[in-house]
Structure 1
């Protein structure tokens, strides 16, 4: 059987750190029959700064043997109120991942698997890939977060639900947190509709506690 990997970057959502600081994260859904992945269906959420981390790690780990694709440019005027900017960034992130997944060398990188199929923070992904955690990469991949998302069908729907703004991609707006933020989500939707994977998942945290019924 021909092996294939399908990946979607979609469902942008505003996450609020506090009254002044907010950011957007994106749902990354992967569906594959490739032998490179032990988990064939997964769904996690990542933010732009984590994509930046991933590219830096892949570039370093590949010893410059692979020319990595570029991420969407960092826009100092990026706004959470601008549906067009969000959609363009989301499409750029998906193109980046699609190109990454075409490289056999990069597919062997543990950081890529942790990024795509676990909800660990960047610091814990780095520690896990280096063997400095009490759990392995495979164990981390077995515990991931996914669930149904509210979806919109047009850019107008997306624009209506954007009620917060962040005027830049400054460090204050992209501060990494080691624990999953407990915030009220304002759900966004990509301007163009995409196929919906009916994924059932488990609620997990970075201590990797999994329910016995997870797949």
Structure 2
């Protein structure tokens, strides 16, 4: 069976850090039957600065054996309210992901999987890959989207795995019906939650 990896960058949203500072993040949707992915469908939100981090880490980890495609250039006059600029950047980010996902060397990189299928912050992704967290890369990917939570302690109590929500974007997201279902299950018995759930930000220039 031919392996297919489909990725979309869409739904740009302006997020506010405070009254004076805002940024834009994008939803990354992935559908695949590739053996490189244990989770076949996922949705996360990432900002431009996280794309920059990803490219840098992939280039370092490939030991310069692979020339990665470029990200959309930074525009000093980029405006969150300019629909054309936002659309052009979003298309550029999607083309970047589509190209890197064609490389088996990149597909074997844990940083890519955490970027695409978890909502961990950059610092948490680096710590996880370095083995400095209480959870593995696989656990971070699998747990993303199981339920909404506000601290690592909450998730440890229920699942003994983590999916960090303190990234620059927002907490792990899940379709409404799945969230309601998980909430109902939790009210019945938190102990019945397992790892079978699936997971269905950009620096201002």
* Range into which the TM-score falls when normalised by the shorter chain: 0.7 to 0.9
- CA drift at 1:27: 0.1
Residues in 2 aligned to 1:106 and 1:79: alpha-carbon distance in whole angstroms: 32
Alignment of 1:69-148 (within 5 A): 69-145=69-145
Q: Secondary structure at the match of 1:64?
A: coil
Taking structure 1 as reference, are residues 97 and 181 closer, same or farther at Cα in structure 2, changes over 3 Å only? Answer: closer
Residues 89-120 of structure 1: CA deviation (Å, up to 9, x unaligned): 00000000000000010100000000000000
Deviation digits for residues 68-100 of structure 1 (CA, Å, limit 9, x no counterpart): 000000111110110000000000000000000
The change in CA–CA distance for 1:103 and 1:199 in structure 2 (over 3 A counts) is: farther
Provide structure 2 residue ranges, at least 5 long, that are not aligned to the other structure: 147-164, 181-191, 199-205
How big is the shift at 1:130? 1.0
1:8-53 CA-partner distances (Å, limit 9, x unpaired): 0000001000110000000000000000000000000000000000
Aligned partners of 2:135 and 2:177: how far apart in 1? 23
Structure 1 CA distance for aligned equivalents of residues 66 and 176 of structure 2: 33
What is the distance in 2 between the residues matched to 1:12 and 1:67? 28
Task: Write 1 or 2 for the structure with the bigger share of helix.
Answer: 2
1:214 positional shift: 1.6
Per the alignment, residue 2 of structure 1 pairs with 2
The structure whose RCO (Cα within 8 Å, separation 6+) is larger is 1
For residues 131 and 36 of structure 2, the distance between their equivalents in structure 1, rounded to whole angstroms, comes to 20
Per the alignment, residue 179 of structure 1 pairs with 166
Superposition pairs for residues 1-215 of structure 1, below 5 Å?
1-145=1-145, 179-180=166-167, 211-212=193-194, 214-215=197-198
Q: Take 2:101 and 2:91, find their aligned partners in 1: how far apart are those partners?
A: 16
Deviation at 1:182, TM superposition (A): 8.6
Deviations 1:122-158 (Å, cap 9, x if unpaired)?
A: 0000110111111000000012249xxxxxxxxxxxx
Q: TM-score, normalised by structure 1?
A: 0.71
Give how far 1:181 is off: 5.8
Q: Specify the SS of the correspondent of 1:39.
A: coil
Figure out how many residues of one structure are paired with residues of the other and give that number.
165
Q: TM-score, normalised by structure 2?
A: 0.74
Distance 2:95 2:169 in 1: 29
